[in-house]
Each structure stands twice: as structure tokens, then as C-alpha cells.
A and B are shown apart, each in its own frame.
Chain A
Amino acid sequence: MLYFSKLRIILVTLTCLFFIFIAINNLLSQNNRFIDKKINLGLDLQGGSYLLLEIDNSPVIEQKLQNTSSLLRTYFKEKDIRIANLSLINNKIRFSVEEKFKQNVIKEFQDEKSQINPYYPRFKSHQFDIIENESFLEISLSKQGIVELKNSSQDQALETVRRRIDEIGTNEPNILKRGNDRILVELPGLDNPMRIKSLLGKTANLTFQFISNNDQDSFGVEKFQYEDGLDEDFVSKRIILSGDNLLDAQPRMNNQTNETVVSFSLDRVGAKRFGKATSSNIGRKLAIILDGKIISAPVIRDTIASGNGQISGGFTFQSATDLALLLRSGALPAPLNIIEERTVGPELGQDSINAGMIALIIGFILVIIYIFFKYKIFGLITNITLIINLIILLGILTLFEATLTLPGIAGIILTVGMAVDANVLIFERIKEELKNEKNNIIAFDSGYSKSRTAIFDANITTLLAAIILFFMGSGPIKGFSITLGIGIFTTLFSVYFIARLFTAIYVSKNKDKEAMI
């Protein structure tokens, strides 16, 4: 056990130097030429905001069912099957059909090549389920249908969220999917997420619809409130333009009225439609509706063919800027709710780093003094090993660009406390062996080999705990499991290669010395 080949000595030395080299990179302000990796600081250390958003998919599902039910009507009309009593109840489309067509309709839905009910061969499922309920037929989204819908609304929402956050320009945001209806947003360095929260909280569904107090409107009318909540108006259900038609939107100062407005430009389709609608409706009020509220309803005085326009609505410069941003980045498919938020200010982050470092240094010094006091020369070996161990641990964290959190620092300190365990087990065993064995080398050899199973068992148990934490924990706690887990490997490496190398050198030079430990 004590013998080390030249090659192994060289390999161990190189490994140590390699990790020391990498770990040192964290201290440099500039990257060195060979490596550009550094340990990431978690949000709890560098300050920042963590937001978990949940997509409220119920409007998406309702919209989907509404679209499907109007599709149904035309689809079966073409086939000369008359469906009646079409209605939406409890997320189900319900309708009745003449008895002789009933089986035909059901077949249409259960056919794998069905045009009205897409089939997902991978999941062996249709988008919709159909059941007979008394005299009615009822159609609802299948399990897989809901999953698909959620996935696609999550994809869309993720894109929009990313665009909105990019527009604000925070540094290196982290935007990830969680499950199939959640989005995780990490914003390093942001200490007041108020603005982002309010921007993400808006669906930004923009439509242009004419005010129509006339019940005879062929599209039907709907009542909408004004933004200020004081007034309301009937609006035609016909949508002239929607946010999808916008190319750009910017906050502007209107020189004539001295008012802040949002100016927008439309794409070609939008411009054409806008021109047509304005030319044939001069004198009517066009409501600009955002998320179910009328922002303003200017009177159309002239044909607007240029595809450019302005929205006014008593904006401040800030609110105009935000609205322009929302319009540029597009609408969310569904409302988002913030279900978890954790924000740490940069000041507290820095305080945590300082406190963590002080605790690490003090803990380290205490352990070193105690071990030196206990084992003298072998204590010294243990301590040198402990320092190298710590550097290797930092080196590995750097290499993997792992995220260091406050609990992660605690994990490092704990590693310092527990890392000596393996060396202690070995040294205590050697002490026992020396009672019966006069030959130092043999005693050290058997001390190492006999303590091995205990060391192995002891470290496996801690590793198991770390692995579970890694998979179950979130954010800061994950950081703890990472440092604790990696710490076990670096400890075993440093005990069996570095400490043993030093021990071997010392023991072979002092073969005949008595009372070694």
C-alpha cells in the first residue's frame, strides 16, 4: 500500500497542479489564455431574481374548443350532416345529430386518418375523445390532446417571455421550461423585479374593433370596459387588426398634443386591411383593446393607408415604453401567474459571500489546529492534504462551471470537517497496528488496508444523501448537494493519493523510528 511508482507520483502531481491552475483562474480578474471558466455564483450570492411562472391554460383550452366547434359545423355541413344544439359545457363540446348519422360522426372521430380529429400515432391517441351521452354527442380533449396543447402554449409563452426579457436587457437571463405548464426565469443582478413582473403579468392581447352600439351588427357585439374603469361601450366582435399584424411599436411624443403616444407600423396584410376598414368607416370610433380593456377609441377621420398609426391613452413615458415593448414582443398565449419568487439584493449577496468566506476560513483554521495538535507530523500531512483537497474541489467546480450557493459554501465547510475522517480512520488504525507490529512499514500498510471498508462505507452513505438532495432539491440546496458530493470524491482522492504519498515518503525515511503516531 505504501509503494508508489514514479509514474504514479508524476500523475498525482500533475493532477494537483492542473486543478490548482484551474482554481486560481477564479481569483484573476482577466481570463488566462488557456481556460475561460469560472465558478458561477448562485442568485443568493450575486443577487438577482428567481421567478417561477405558471401558465393558466384554461383560456387556451376554451379557445381551442370554440375554434373546434365552429370547425365542426362547417365540416359536417359539407358532408350534409346537420348538427344541432351545438354548445360548450364544462370544457366539452356538446351537440346532437340525427340518429342515422350518429355512428358516422363517431366513426369520423375515431378514424386514424380523421381530418377533424388528428391522431398522434406515437401516443396512440386522438386529440379529442368522443362519447355518447343520452341523445347528445360530447367531445372533449383527450389526455394527450391536453398535453399537446399545453406543450405548444408553453413553447409560445417561453418565446414571448424571452423576447420581453431581452427587450429590457438584463444580463444573462436564464429562461427554462419546467414541467409542461411552467417557466422558470432567473435574472442575475436584478434586485427589483417589479417592472419585469408587471411586464410578464400582461398577456398583451391587442385588437382593433369598431365601437358598435347597433345590435344589428352581423358579427354580434360585446361589452368592454375602458381602462380607467369608469366607462364601458359595446364593441363589434369583428376583429379588424390584432397584435400579430404589428411590425414595430415605439413610444413617441406627439408634438401637437404634447402627449406621449405609442406609434406602430403594420405589416403588409395589416396595412391593407387597416386601410380598407378605415376608408369605409369614416366617422366611426375604433376601439383599441388590450387584454379585454379599451385603451382608447379614437374617431376615424380619414383613410389610413400608410400602415402607420398611433395609440394614445393618457400614457406616461414609462407606461408608453412598456406598452410598446409588450406590443413588439407579441402576446402571450395565456396569462402567466407568478407562483414563486425569490429575490436577493446584491448587498445581501455580498454579505453572504463575506460571511461564508469568514466561516470557511475560521472553520478551516480550527480544524487544522485541532488536527495538528492531535497528530503532529501526520496532522501536518493531513492538513496539507486538506488544503489541496479544497483547491481540487474548487478546481472541479470551476471545470464544470458549477453554481456556488450559500448552502454550497456550507457544504464546502462541512467537507472540511468531514474530510479528515478518512485520514483519522487510517491513522487510528495504524496506531492499533503499531501496538502489535514493530515494523513501521507493515503497520502502516495494514492500517491502510484494514480501514478501507469502513472508509468506503462511510463515504457512500454521505454520497447517497447528496445524490438525493441533488435530484430533489432546488436552487441553493442543489448547490449544497453539489459541493458535498464532489467533496467526497476529492476527499477520497486526496486521502488515498496525496496523503498516502506524503505518508509513504515520511515512513520510508523513518523506518525504525518508534512511536510514529
Chain B
Amino acid sequence: MIQFNRFYTKCNIISLMFVTISLFFLIFKGLNFGIDFKGGTLIELRSSSNTINVSSLRENLSQMDLGDISVKKFGNEQDFLIKFENKDNKDDIIEEIKSNLDKSFGNNFNFRRVENVGPKVSAELLKSGIIAISLSLTLMLIYIWIRFEWQFSLGAILALFHDVIITLGLFSFLSLEINLSIVAAVLTIVGYSMNDTVVIFDRVRENLKKYSDIKIFELTNISINETLSRTLITSVTTLLALFSIFFFGGEILKGFSLAMIFGVIFGTYSSIYIANTVLVRLKVSQKTILKDEEKN
């Protein structure tokens, strides 16, 4: 049996540190919002010539008065991603850029993807993204409250916040782009982390009923160990699927799968070291669940 409980306090301190650092980044550095949430225009283009590079593209486009502009490679040598503010929301800006690039570099470009999000829409998308994440956290809270005692709900919710905050903090730290698919990833992380926590909690509760003489500190450790191989196998298969998306699923799904990979790792960790330690600190005992059952 692995003595997970020996590290409860240490891990709590480390988690607290990471959450604090993440919040620090989120507040002071903020998130790198993509055009979904910030508004603007995105062009993914492929050049058929090897001589075109990021700096020549940037130089050319910066003469066009497009506002804040970013040009970067997208996947391979010949794919580029151009993003700019498009403040005036001009409809024919894409054609202008196309003819300008064709004039400067020859007809070498294929516009593979164009996205243009107006300021009104991006504000709405941001709002609905925030609502979606808050709503999912609330629903999870309600669900776990119905299924378990309040001490368990608190543990599960703290674990969720831990996962979401650190994942977003990492995105802030690495300046990775936040777009609609990241919101989807965060919601899935919430589901996954909850899933993991619930399985261990289910065992903790079962063991609480079984052994009246074992302290919660020891009991959580037993439960974690009993469910450990399941926790690991499921994490591994999920990660196998996610890494496969990350490496082979194309450039568009990179951010999504990366967020999910972070989330699955944090989620697995937090269901062991956050959710359970809350039970320990709240001194959950057999009485806790018996009291609740009497009430019903």
C-alpha cells in the first residue's frame, strides 16, 4: 500500500502555492484571448513557395494599417496564422489583404480559413463561456450535494476549482490562446475531475460504513489505494486518446487537447490530494454519514 496520506499536508501547501501563483498570473497577466473572445480577424493561409516567412509576411501586412497584428507559423513551414484587430470591421478587408499579398509575393497563397468576429459577438461569446463554466460548477455542486454529505461536496468542489484555476493559470503563464474550444475543454475537465473524485469518495463512504474504528486519515489512504489501479488505468487511456489528438489531430485541436491533458493530470492529482484532504481536515467519521442517513 502506498502511503499517500504522508504527503497530505505537503501537497496541500504546494497546491495552495500553485493556486496562488495561478491567480496572480490570471489577475496581473491575464489570459491571451483569441478572436472568439476579443473580436478581430484570423486568416490561416498556406503558401506554395518556400521563400515566404513570418517576418516578410509581417512586414508586408504591417503597411496595411490593420491595427494590432500577429503573424505566426501554424503547424508546418508553409502554413501561417495571421490575426489582427480589424477595428473598423471592414467587410472587404480579406479581399484587400489577398490582393495585396498576391501583388507582393505572386499568387502563392491559399486562404484556408477565415474567421471574423465582431466586438458584439465576442463579448457575447465571452459572457456565455463564463456562464457555461459557472453553471457547470454549480450543477456539479448541486449534484454532489444530493449524492453525498456536505463535507464531500466541499472537497469535490475545491478540487474542481483547483483544477480549473491551475489549468487556466498555466494557459496564462504560457500565453496560450483561449478560444471557444478551450471553454469546451475546461467543461470536460470539470466533468472528468468530478468523475475521478466521485469514484474515490464512493469508496470512502463505503469504507466508512464498513470500519468504525479506522480514522479518516488512514481510511482515505485505504480507499485511494483500493481505487488506485482504476484511477491510473482510466487516466492512462484518456491520456492516450488525448495525446493522439494532440499529435495527430491537426493544429486546430492542439489547444483543446493540451488543456485537456493538463486537466486530466491535475484532476487525477486533485481527487487524491485535494478532495480527500478536505475530508480529513473536516474530521469526517462514520457518524457523519450515519447522521445523514438517519435524517433521510
Contact = CB atoms under 8 A, between A and B. Distances in A.
Given A457-B202, A474-B180, A417 B240 contact: yes
Interface string A360-376: 10110011001100100
Contact of A340 (B113, B121, B242): B121
Interface string A312-329: 000000000000000000
Interface stretch (A57-65, A251-259, A300-308, A406-414): A406-414
A54 B89 CA distance: 13
B114 A410 contact: no
B252 A352 contact: yes
Interface string A454-482: 10011111111110110011101100110
Summarize A's interface: helix, strand, loop or mixed.
helix
Interface string B146-158: 0100000000000
Contact of B233 (A414, A424, A474): A424
A269 B252 CA distance: 57
Interface string B87-105: 0010110110000000000
Contacts of A454: 198-199, 202-203
Contact of B244 (A201, A338, A359, A432): A359
B132 A468 contact: yes
A356 interface: yes
Given A454-B199, A458-B196, A472-B135, 17 more contacts: A44-B252, A197-B92, A348-B112, A356-B249, A370-B236, A407-B181, A407-B253, A410-B245, A413-B245, A413-B249, A418-B192, A418-B241, A420-B234, A458-B194, A462-B192, A466-B191, A472-B131
B44 A348 contact: yes
A417 B239 contact: yes
Given A347-B112, A367-B240, A425-B230, A465 B191 contact: yes
B237 A406 contact: no
A342 B40 CA distance: 12
B238 interface: yes
A53 to B, nearest CB: 11
Nearest to A366: B240
Nearest to B202: A454
A476 B179 CA distance: 12
B135 A468 contact: yes
A397 B195 CA distance: 25
Q: Which 10 A-B pairs have the closest CB atoms?
A: A417-B241, A363-B244, A355-B250, A465-B191, A359-B249, A339-B118, A472-B132, A461-B194, A462-B191, A417-B238
Contacts of A44: 252
Contacts of A420: 233-234, 237
A414 B188 contact: yes
Nearest to A363: B244
A48 to B, nearest CB: 11
Contact of B117 (A340, A358, A362): A340
Interface residues of A, number: 69
Interface in B235-294: 236-245, 247-250, 252-253, 256-257, 260
Interface string B111-136: 11111111011000100110110011
Interface in B200-242: 202-203, 226-227, 229-230, 233-234, 236-242
B118 A340 contact: yes
B139 interface: yes
19 contacts: A52-B121, A338-B118, A340-B117, A342-B113, A348-B113, A358-B248, A406-B253, A413-B244, A413-B245, A416-B237, A420-B237, A424-B233, A425-B199, A428-B229, A464-B139, A465-B187, A465-B188, A468-B187, A480-B181
Contacts of B245: 359, 363, 410, 413-414
B61 interface: no
A336 B92 CA distance: 15
A341 interface: yes
B190 interface: yes
Contacts of B198: 454, 457-458, 461
B129, B194, B238, most chain A CB atoms within 10 A: B238
Given A469-B184, A477-B181, A453 B132 contact: no
A480 B118 CA distance: 24
A363 B248 CA distance: 9
A339 to B, nearest CB: 4
A342 B253 contact: no
A421 B234 contact: yes
A344 interface: yes
Summarize B's interface: helix, strand, loop or mixed.
helix
A345 B113 contact: yes
A381 interface: no
B256 A457 contact: no
Interface in B42-78: 44
A194 B256 contact: no
A367 B241 contact: yes
B237 A54 contact: no
A90 interface: no
Contacts of B107: none
A351 interface: yes
Contacts of B241: 363, 366-367, 413-414, 416-418
A161 to B, nearest CB: 15
A458 B233 contact: no
Given A355-B248, A407-B256, A464-B140, A201 B113 contact: no
Contacts of A374: 233
Given A413-B245, A457-B198, A370 B240 contact: yes
Contacts of A366: 240-241, 244
B143 interface: yes
B183 interface: yes
Interface string A115-137: 00000000000000000000000
Contacts of A201: 91
Contact of B120 (A54, A469, A476, A481): A54
A404 interface: no
A363 B253 contact: no
B290 to A, nearest CB: 18
Nearest to B230: A428
A434 interface: no
A362 B249 CA distance: 10
A367 B237 contact: yes
A480 B243 CA distance: 17
A316 B187 CA distance: 53
B110 interface: yes
A430 B240 CA distance: 25
